[in-house]
Amino acid sequence: SVKKVGVLIGSLRKGSFSRRVANAAIALAPESLSFTIIELGGLSFFNQDLEATPPADWVSFRDAVKACDAILFVTPEYNRSIPGVLKNAVDVGSRPYGQGVLIGKPAAVISTSIGAVGGFGSNHHLRQCLSFLNMPTLGQPEMYLGNSAQLVDEEGEVTSEGTRDYLTNFGKAFATWVHKPWG
Ligand code: FNR
């Protein structure tokens, strides 16, 4: 069966290297996964005062997440953590308390960086949130993608065979993960 994966990208900029990596990961994934990028740019800041009357953008974000079997996070690292835009999405998707649409969904994390460390801090700060939300998150292969500016060209082509193989192996492992009988 084909499982639906929602993709959350932690960068809003047009030329985002994380978005390029996300598109490459999608293109190289097995056919047993289908992907939808859920856009985060229009998501209002989480505010507990609004929980009783959620803004329309929260409702459509939550509906989009609810329609997915799994979530793929692709994020840069800001100040050794995740960008606020992604944390906001996690917070919106985590509420109402105990009923958040993210709770329990299988997930994977790809972190990116223009530097060599590959967003390790971002990757693991995000995993702290996902652990609390009871989201079973793929452990291997670890995806800390450094030198993100060079990985995928403007046409969306992965520039090295090694990176292509790595993303392909990740896609296979994630598909196996998502098809486990979670929940
Ligand atoms: C960064 N960048 C960055 N890189 C990194 O490896 N570790 C870090 O802690 C940070 N911190 C950081 C903070 C802020 C506010 C910005 C704007 C940038 C650099 C980052 O890797 C680079 O800007 C990427 O290009 C961002 O990802 P996208 O937008 O290309 O997907």
Per-residue pLDDT of the chain (183 residues; tens, 9 = 90+): 999 999 999 999 999 999 999 999 999 999 999 999 999 999 999 999 999 999 999 999 999 999 999 999 999 999 999 999 999 999 999 999 999 999 999 999 999 999 999 999 999 999 999 999 999 999 999 999 999 999 999 999 999 999 999 999 999 999 999 999 986
Query: How far apart are alpha carbons 31 and 11 in whole angstroms?
Result: 26
Neighbouring CB atoms inside 10 A of 136's CB total 18
| Atom 10, ligand 1: residue with shortest CA distance | 78
Domain count, the chain: 1
Report residue 34: phi and psi, to 5°.
Answer: -115, 145
Residue 89 CA to ligand 1 center (angstroms) comes to 18
In a domain? residue 83: yes
In a domain, 32, yes or no: yes
CB 11 within 8 A of CB 18: yes
In this prediction the ipTM stands at 0.99
Looking at residue 182, what is its pLDDT?
87
Looking at residue 49, what is its pLDDT? 98
Q: Which atom of ligand 1 is nearest to the CA of 81?
A: 9
Residue 47 included in any domain? yes
**CB atoms closer than 10 angstroms to residue 81:** 17
Q: Which domain holds residue 146?
A: 3-178
Residue 166: per-residue pLDDT:
97
Q: Is residue 134 part of a domain?
A: yes
pLDDT of residue 183: 62
Residue 3, classed as helix, strand or coil, is: strand
In a domain, 131, yes or no: yes
> Does any domain span residue 50?
yes
Kindly state the tokens that stand for 76: 């840069």
pLDDT of amino acid 58 = 98
User: What pTM was computed for the model?
Assistant: 0.98
183 in a structural domain: no
- Here the CATH number for the domain that contains residue 73 is 3.40.50.360
Task: Report how far ligand 1's centroid is from the alpha carbon of 78 (Å).
Answer: 5
**Which residues approach ligand 1 with their CB closer than 6 A?**
11, 13, 16-18, 76-80, 112-115, 117, 119
Question: Ligand 1: which atom is nearest the Cα of residue 117?
Answer: 6
Name which residue sits closest to atom 12 of ligand 1, judged by CA.
78
